[in-house]
Amino acid sequence: MKTITTDFDYLAATTVEEALDLLAQHKDDDYKIVAGGQSLNTAMKHRLIAPEYIIDIKGLTDLDYITFDEKEGLKVGALATHRSLEKSPIVREKYCVLCEMEENVASVETRNWGTVVGDLCNADPAVDPAPPLIALDAKLKIASKGEERIVDAEEFVVDYYDTTVQPGEMATEILIPALPPNTGVYFTKYSQMLGDYALASASVLITLDAKKDKCVNVRIGFGGVGNTPIRAKKTEEVLKGKKITEALLAEAAEVAKTEINPVSGIEGSADYKRELAGTLLKRVGKVALERAQKA
């Protein structure tokens, strides 16, 4: 039997520079970053992981921000909590889909302490923020000592509980472009209990032409129906350039079912989740369309 000890060295950073120095120094060690600890502490408590070093970034107040301007869009720092996104007046005004999404993430207690970036880095395939961020064409900024790179939201998670963040790196910011006119976005998840992870979730962004007739851009994100959150590009092609109707959304839902890859579990079979995702797409697409027409 493998014995897992719970001893670790605790290293707390107070600035981004300090955190990047610690990450560079421990690049080849068995370490974990901790932000709010809502997922990490649970994994450690259950002895699923036992890192030798914990690098605490909760003190990086310089990364605790949410800013918006029309040119650069929305920027969410790595230490911004779910609750601050949910309660941000500018987010509610410009990207209300993110506030709606946040209202059903876990409990208020978890949202008060857990960060949005930490949720993405934990990389559960059903993570709630991922589908709307994919729909919104968000990017993540990843930093290491002396370097920075930008990754599309749909490329960020690479497998179950694994992201593109490499040893020595940390995610520092989410960037979301300003929305063009005539754009509507919506997200919903289906879970067995309020605040639970989703069995399936979907988010759709639709931009209509000046006459509000045809769809000029559409982006679709799914959660919980594969080993990562998924951008459904083939499904988008069904809708792009066309007048969106309920019949067209039903056609798109059929394509979506072939583009996702759910697995069976105690909470539902793969076929059930496939059907669920198709149904969510039709519902979410309808609301996104109505919002685009009113925008």
Ligand X SMILES: Cc1cc2nc3c(=O)[nH]c(=O)nc-3n(C[C@H](O)[C@H](O)[C@H](O)COP(=O)(O)OP(=O)(O)OC[C@H]3O[C@@H](n4cnc5c(N)ncnc54)[C@H](O)[C@@H]3O)c2cc1C
Binding site for ligand X (CB under 6 A): 32-40, 42, 78, 82, 105-106, 110, 114-115, 117-119, 121-122, 127-128, 165, 170-171, 195-197
* CB-based contact 22:13 (threshold 8 Å): yes
Q: How far is the CB of 103 from ligand X (least distance, A)?
A: 11
State how far the Cα of 96 lies from the Cα of 185, in Å rounded to an integer.
Answer: 8
Q: Is the CB of 165 or the CB of 215 nearer to ligand X? A: 165
Q: Is the CB of 31 or the CB of 217 nearer to ligand X? A: 31
Q: How far is the CB of 290 from ligand X (least distance, A)?
A: 25
Q: How far is the CB of 139 from ligand X (least distance, A)?
A: 15
Q: How far is the CB of 288 from ligand X (least distance, A)?
A: 20
Q: Is the CB of 95 or the CB of 239 nearer to ligand X? A: 95
Q: Is the CB of 117 or the CB of 200 nearer to ligand X? A: 117
Q: Whose CA is closest to 223, among 240, 246, 243, 200?
A: 200
**Strand pairing report for 53-56 and 31-34:** parallel
Residue nearest to ligand X (CB): 118
State how far the Cα of 120 lies from the Cα of 33, in Å rounded to an integer.
Answer: 13
At 14, give phi and psi (nearest 5°).
-115, -10
Q: Is the CB of 78 or the CB of 239 nearer to ligand X? A: 78
Q: How far is the CB of 7 from ligand X (least distance, A)?
A: 18
Beta-carbon contacts of residue 248 (< 8 Å; ≥ 6 apart): 238, 239, 242
Count of CB atoms situated within 10 Å of the CB of 145: 15
Half-sphere exposure of 264 (CA within 13 A, CB side): 2
